[in-house]
Structure formats: C-alpha cells, structure tokens
Amino acid sequence: AQSVAQPEDQVNVAEGNPLTVKCTYSVSGNPYLFWYVQYPNRGLQFLLKYITGDNLVKGSYGFEAEFNKSQTSFHLKKPSALVSDSALYFCAVRDANTDKLIFGTGTRLQVFP
Amino acid sequence: DTEVTQTPKHLVMGMTNKKSLKCEQHMGHRAMYWYKQKAKKPPELMFVYSYEKLSINESVPSRFSPECPNSSLLNLHLHALQPEDSALYLCASSQESGLLNQPQHFGDGTRLSIL
C-alpha cells in the first residue's frame, strides 16, 4: 500500500531563515507526490508536485521540493521563510491502484518574526 | 482565490434536520471529491465522482448522500447526522480520475456543527 510519513508535528523557524518540512514515502511503482498547504479556516492549496526526472521541483510562493529516490524522501523547502508561511502542510501520494490521494498527518509550520 | 466554490461556509443543524452542501467548479474537471476533515487532521476521502457517476464510496454512513447533477456541480445531502459528524467538509476536483500526476483542487470547505 502507498503511504507518506511526516515525522514532525511542528517545525519552528525564524523569519528569513531557510525552512524544511520533511516527508518520506512508500510506494510500489512510480511515485506521484504532492505538497499542499492549509491556512486557518481555508481549504487545501496545491503547492507543487513531483515530476519524473526532476529532483528539484519548484512550486508556488517560492517553495520547492527535493526528491531523493534512495532516501524515499520528498522534503519541502524554502530559502527564506516568511511569517505568512505559517500554516499546516500536507504531503500526499496518489495511489495508482485506487486513484486515492493519501495524506500524511500534517506538519504545522510556525515562522517567528 | 479558490476555483472550487463551496456553500454555505458555515452550517449549524440539529440531528433531525435535512440540509445540503453544495460545490461548484468551472475548470472543466471531470472528477469531483468529497472529504471530511477533523481539526488538525488530514482530510479523509468520502466519495469520488468520475464523469458524473459515483466511482468510490468509502463506506460512508447512509445519512450522507452525494449527488452529481452535472459535471460542474456536486452536492452532499445530510440527514439525521450525529454530533461526531461535526467537521470541515471539503470538495475537490481534478482533471480526470486516473490521471495520477494531476493535482486535486480544493474549495474552502463548509464547517458543519451538529447540535
């Protein structure tokens, strides 16, 4: 079965510092990986997706994700964090057998001024 | 701005009421989804419609009844709900079911409270 894991419930970072939100995956076959962000009282917003062959994927709002096949990871990164980046981040994988989107447990990012 | 519109934004209802949640998208997407999300948890899939036909029902209780009147609209009819059904209900759409590299686009949800 396909799955993703987000090992950190919360990540704290100072504004202007680089941030990383971790995600590891377990899939059979090709990985179809996504990152979403959820601001308070809002739905999920699509940030980026893994594209086969690209180890560094660029997405919305200055976010990027680094795909590492040997470590089965798809970590979300940003070179310089903003207070407005504070939100709940979900990593997700598309299950090729069922077409379901399977979410990680989420990581709360807190950026301090 | 979200391209998937959900109404109402908030809904409070008693356990004997009947109400409906509505979702609309104009992106030409042919797959639409209902999710339930509890606070600080990931969304849980409830139903999937593909080309206006129900393709997945995640063993959801019959007090939740989905309907897809056309390719742009998705409804969720509610009847005799329980307090544990209080949650954020999210609608999503994607280009087509089965296109695994296409993202799902979410609405802002309806926050439902059952008294």
Cβ separation of B106 and A34 shorter than 8 Å?
A: no
Whole-number Å distance between alpha carbons of B41 and A75: 20
Cβ separation of A32 and B104 shorter than 8 Å?
A: no
Instruction: Identify the three-state secondary structure at position A110.
Output: strand
Cβ separation of B103 and A49 shorter than 8 Å?
A: yes
Contact B79, B65 (CB under 8 A): yes
Confidence (pLDDT) at B1: 52
Whether the per-residue pLDDT at A41 is higher than 60: the answer is: yes
Whole-number Å distance between alpha carbons of B106 and B59: 22
Q: Which long-range contacts (CB under 8 A, 24 or more apart) does A67-71 make?
A: A67/A31, A67/A33, A71/A24
Residues 41-100 of B with CB under 8 A from A: 41-43, 45, 48, 56, 90, 92, 97-98, 100
Chain B interface includes A58 (CB < 8 A): no
Residues of B in contact with A104 (CB under 8 A): 42
Size of interface A-B (CB pairs under 8 A): 55
Q: Span A19-46, mean pLDDT?
A: 94
DSSP string over A47-107: EEE--TT-SEEE-GGG-EEEEETTTTEEEEEESS--GGG-EEEEEEEE-TTT--EEE---E
Confidence (pLDDT) at A98: 82
For B16-52, what is each residue's pLDDT tens digit?
889 999 999 999 999 999 999 999 899 999 999 999 9
Confidence (pLDDT) at B97: 81
Cβ separation of A46 and B41 shorter than 8 Å?
A: no
What's the whole-number average pLDDT of chain A? 95
Contact B110, B21 (CB under 8 A): yes
Cβ separation of A106 and B106 shorter than 8 Å?
A: no
Q: Which residues contact A14 (CB under 8 A, 6 or more apart)?
A: A81, A111, A112
Residues of B in contact with A100 (CB under 8 A): 45, 48, 56
Report residue B88's pLDDT band, with 50, 70 and 90 as the boundaries.
very high
- Top pLDDT among B31 and B97 is at B31
- Top pLDDT among B97 and A35 is at A35
Q: Span A24-33, mean pLDDT?
A: 91
Confidence (pLDDT) at A99: 80
Angle, vertex CA B34, rays to CA B29 and CA B40, nearest 5: 120
Whole-number Å distance between alpha carbons of B111 and B8: 8
Confidence (pLDDT) at A28: 86
Residues of B in contact with A53 (CB under 8 A): none
Residue A53: Cβ within 10 Å count? 6
Whether the per-residue pLDDT at B85 is higher than 80: the answer is: yes
Confidence (pLDDT) at B2: 62
For A56-86, what is each residue's pLDDT tens digit?
999 999 999 999 999 999 999 999 999 999 9
Cβ separation of B56 and A43 shorter than 8 Å?
A: no
